[in-house]
Amino acid sequence: MPVLKSDVTVCQGYANCVETAPDAYDVGDDGKVVLLRQDITEAERPRFEEAVRSCPMNALRIEDA
Amino acid sequence: MSTTVVVGSSIGGVRTAQALRREGYEGRVVLVGEQAREPYDKPPLSKQFLAGDWEQERLVILPRATAAAEGIELRLGVPATGLDVAGRQVLLSDGSRLDYDHVVIATGASARPPRWRQGAGVHVLRTLDDGRALRADLERGGPVVVIGGGFIGAEVAATTRALGLEVTVVDPVLTPMGRMVGTEIGRYFRDLHQRNGVTTRFGVGVQGISGAAGSLRVQLTDGALLDAAAVVVGIGAVPNDGWLTDSGLCLRDGVLCDEYSRAVDAPDVFAVGDVARWFHPDRGQYTRVEHWTNAVEQAACVAHNIVHPGDRRPYRPVEYVWSDQYDWKIQMVGRPFRGTHQELVGELGDGRSRAVMFYSDDTGHLCGAVTINWPRALVQCRRQLHAGATFDDAVAAVERLLSASEPNAPVATTVGSS
């Protein structure tokens, strides 16, 4: 099952992920990414790949748990 | 098997190639690039790379191994020299031709060349080689004169100043980034640079540049002379569409495209990123945008439209660009320059204060916003712009953030990459 991961030490709050997949990503008051959910289905993977690749800092990934 | 050739190996081209696979494209994907090196990212060139914090390996966005794993054929170091639209072929500089069923033009833009002088210590900043040359000159010390107070100029000034060099910024406009955001918030950016020790000469033009590398002199239109070890010129960009002059495609300061990002009168040809001038359906006008996020979003849209011709989507983005200068994070959405009324929410002064400048058009709708040190407000402004919110509703939404600024509860946070 694919799992969403984020690295807040790299995140700069550019927020493109929120634009692409607002059901999974938000930005907190500290300006860093917040994961609203972690488990995704295979069918959803393409949409989250798009979100991952919209990050200018490469702070997001999808891992296979 | 069908073939899509993507011409241009910067962010727009790379993301198009990857998005084709993500959309389930099963044909050949060939990525053509002018530069021989692995495709790399450009925003860090004026920031982390120029500061020496990142080396060039960290800029790579498509390592050869990744391209191979994703089924993307690379033709790097071989610039495209022409397009045969009727014959469906891309012409390459080595004399070879690539047959295509679809072609995506993603050749980007080049730094507008300085008319005063080029080379010999006078830099532009667009490519990795530009960045390396400038970095090497900065290591030899200042003073540095930056001509142009737009995004590139302001970022270079901030990075150069952080390296401890003397910096002067010159621009005929009254404030940094003033063309994009107006002078009211622009003066906060001017103050930011001054507070950090940059000398600003706004409202003054450049007459000429003389001298030799290492000991240049910049003459301003008010007669002042500035000594410079190096000069950086950031005065905009011009789309790389010259190679298409003979193609028959309609070129209007970029490749003219319909609302699906298809070249007009050439339905097998698409364009993405800085080189594309497409018809924005919500605006009713042709639009060209030079921001990183636009290239990424347009790439996704074009890939979808190639793979799903029965379900084409018009491309209707809300523009977004970020800039990092000193300890300020500046984010801009929509088109602030179209605003006829503006209002500041939050506090802006010394230190890391945070604020939003809202811009409305004559109809009372939000047309743009600039956020400073406040990514959460940026998210809200982007949503409001997508929703076509009124100015008052948008301001109220951000004011609510001020009163109750608790983030959504995270389900998990990973620190450190794995």
pLDDT score of B409 more than 70? no
pLDDT score of B84 more than 70? yes
Residue B299 CA: distances (Å) to CA of B190, B213, B294, B303, B373: 35, 40, 8, 6, 28
Claim to verify: residue B166 and residue B187 sit in the same structural domain: yes
Partners of residue B300 in chain A, C-beta under 8 Å: 50
pLDDT score of B44 more than 80? yes
Domain endpoint, select from B235, B253, B275: B235
How many angstroms separate the CA of residue B116 from the nearest CA in chain A?
A: 34
> What is the rounded CA–CA span in Å between residue B377 and residue B384?
10
Under a CB-based contact definition with an 8 Å cutoff, are residues B120 and B213 in contact? yes
Partners of residue A27 in chain B, C-beta under 8 Å: 375-376, 378-379, 407
Closest to B193 measured CA to CA, from B81, B325, B36: B325
Under a CB-based contact definition with an 8 Å cutoff, are residues B5 and B100 in contact? yes
pLDDT score of B406 more than 60? no
pLDDT tens column, B11-23? 999 999 999 999 9
Contact between B324 and A13 using a beta-carbon 8 Å cutoff: no
pLDDT tens column, B207-217? 999 999 999 99
Would you call A18 an interface residue with chain B, using a CB distance cutoff of 8 Å?
Answer: yes
Would you call A8 an interface residue with chain B, using a CB distance cutoff of 8 Å?
Answer: yes
Where do the structural domains in chain A lie, given as residue ranges?
Answer: 2-64
Q: Answer yes or no: pTM beyond 0.80.
A: yes
Does residue B319 lie within any of the structural domains? no
Contact between A38 and B412 using a beta-carbon 8 Å cutoff: yes
Would you call A12 an interface residue with chain B, using a CB distance cutoff of 8 Å?
Answer: yes
Contact between A15 and B375 using a beta-carbon 8 Å cutoff: yes
Does residue B415 lie within any of the structural domains? no
> What is the rounded CA–CA span in Å between residue B368 and residue B157?
25
Q: Which residues of B160-181 are buried (b: 16+ CB within 10 A; e: fewer)?
A: bbbbebbbbbbbebebbbbebb
Secondary-structure percent of chain A, ordered helix, strand, coil, rounded to 5: 25, 25, 50
CATH number, domain of B361, equals 3.30.390.30
Would you call B163 an interface residue with chain A, using a CB distance cutoff of 8 Å?
Answer: no
A1 vs B164, higher pLDDT? B164
Under a CB-based contact definition with an 8 Å cutoff, are residues B299 and B12 in contact? yes
The predicted model gives B108-136 an average pLDDT of 95
Look at residue B231 and give its three-state secondary structure: strand
Distance between the two ends of chain B, CA-based, in angstroms?
A: 38
Would you call B405 an interface residue with chain A, using a CB distance cutoff of 8 Å?
Answer: yes
Residue B26 has a pLDDT of 97
Does residue B113 lie within any of the structural domains? no
Closest to B333 measured CA to CA, from B348, B344, B323, B343: B323
CATH value of A2-64 in 1.10.10.1590, 3.90.230.10, 2.60.40.420, 3.30.70.20: 3.30.70.20
The predicted model gives B321-347 an average pLDDT of 94
Q: Starting at the earlier edge strand, list the strands of the sheet with B341-346.
A: B320-325, B328-334, B366-372, B355-360, B341-346
Look at residue B101 and give its three-state secondary structure: coil
Closest residue to A35, CB basis, from B382, B410, B417: B410
Claim to verify: residue B223 and residue B128 sit in the same structural domain: yes
Residue of A nearest to B384 (CA): A19
pLDDT band for B413, please (50, 70, 90 cuts): very low
Q: Which residues of B247-265 are buried (b: 16+ CB within 10 A; e: fewer)?
A: bebebeebbbbbbbbbbbe
pLDDT band for A61, please (50, 70, 90 cuts): very high
pLDDT score of B294 more than 90? yes
The region of weakest confidence among A49-53, B64-68, B114-118, B146-150 is: B114-118
Would you call A31 an interface residue with chain B, using a CB distance cutoff of 8 Å?
Answer: yes
Distance between the two ends of chain A, CA-based, in angstroms?
A: 6
Contact between B376 and A29 using a beta-carbon 8 Å cutoff: yes
Q: What are phi and psi of B189, to 5 degrees?
A: -70, -40
Cβ neighbourhood burial of B36 (10 Å; 0-12, 13-18, 19+): exposed
Does residue B390 lie within any of the structural domains? yes
> What is the rounded CA–CA span in Å between residue B313 and residue B64?
31
Would you call B403 an interface residue with chain A, using a CB distance cutoff of 8 Å?
Answer: no
Q: What's the DSSP call for residue B316?
A: -
Contact between B18 and A53 using a beta-carbon 8 Å cutoff: yes
Would you call A53 an interface residue with chain B, using a CB distance cutoff of 8 Å?
Answer: yes
Residue of B nearest to A31 (CA): B375
The predicted model gives B243-254 an average pLDDT of 97
Would you call B101 an interface residue with chain A, using a CB distance cutoff of 8 Å?
Answer: no
Under a CB-based contact definition with an 8 Å cutoff, are residues B275 and B8 in contact? yes
What rounded mean pLDDT belongs to chain B?
Answer: 94
How many angstroms separate the CA of residue B409 from the nearest CA in chain A?
A: 7
- How large a percentage of chain B has pLDDT more than 70? 96
Would you call B316 an interface residue with chain A, using a CB distance cutoff of 8 Å?
Answer: no
> What is the rounded CA–CA span in Å between residue B364 and residue B373?
26
Would you call B402 an interface residue with chain A, using a CB distance cutoff of 8 Å?
Answer: no
Residue B414 has a pLDDT of 37
CATH number, domain of B214, equals 3.50.50.60
Residue B118 has a pLDDT of 82
Would you call A7 an interface residue with chain B, using a CB distance cutoff of 8 Å?
Answer: yes
CA atoms within 13 A on the CB side of B55: 1
Claim to verify: residue B231 and residue B255 sit in the same structural domain: no
pLDDT tens column, A2-18? 999 999 999 999 999 99
Please, what sign has the CA dihedral across residues B73, B78, B82, B86? negative
How many angstroms separate the CA of residue A13 from the nearest CA in chain B?
A: 5
Show the DSSP H helices in B58-141 as ranges. Answer: 64-69, 128-139
pLDDT score of B417 more than 70? no
Residue B416 has a pLDDT of 39
Does residue B178 lie within any of the structural domains? yes
Does residue B152 lie within any of the structural domains? yes
Claim to verify: residue B103 and residue B250 sit in the same structural domain: yes
The predicted model gives B119-142 an average pLDDT of 95
Contact between A19 and B320 using a beta-carbon 8 Å cutoff: yes
Domain endpoint, select from B311, B340, B355: B311
pLDDT tens column, B134-164? 999 999 998 999 999 999 999 999 999 999 9
Q: Which residue has the tokens 């990183």?
A: B292
Residue B196: give the domain boundaries: 122-235
Domain endpoint, select from B263, B278, B311: B311
Does residue B65 lie within any of the structural domains? yes
Under a CB-based contact definition with an 8 Å cutoff, are residues B183 and B175 in contact? yes
Would you call B382 an interface residue with chain A, using a CB distance cutoff of 8 Å?
Answer: yes
Show the tokens assigned to B61.
């966005």
Does residue B179 lie within any of the structural domains? yes
Contact between B329 and A12 using a beta-carbon 8 Å cutoff: yes
pLDDT tens column, A30-48? 999 999 999 999 999 999 9
The region of weakest confidence among A4-18, B110-124, B243-257, B371-385 is: B110-124
Cα diameter, chain A: 32
For chain B, how many structural domains are there in total? Answer: 3
- How large a percentage of chain B has pLDDT more than 90? 90
Q: What's the DSSP call for residue B261?
A: S
| CB–CB contacts below 8 A, A to B | 92
Question: Please, what is the angle between helix B11-22 and helix B292-307, to 10°?
Answer: 30
pLDDT score of B93 more than 50? yes
Question: Please, what is the angle between helix B375-386 and helix B391-403, to 10°?
Answer: 150
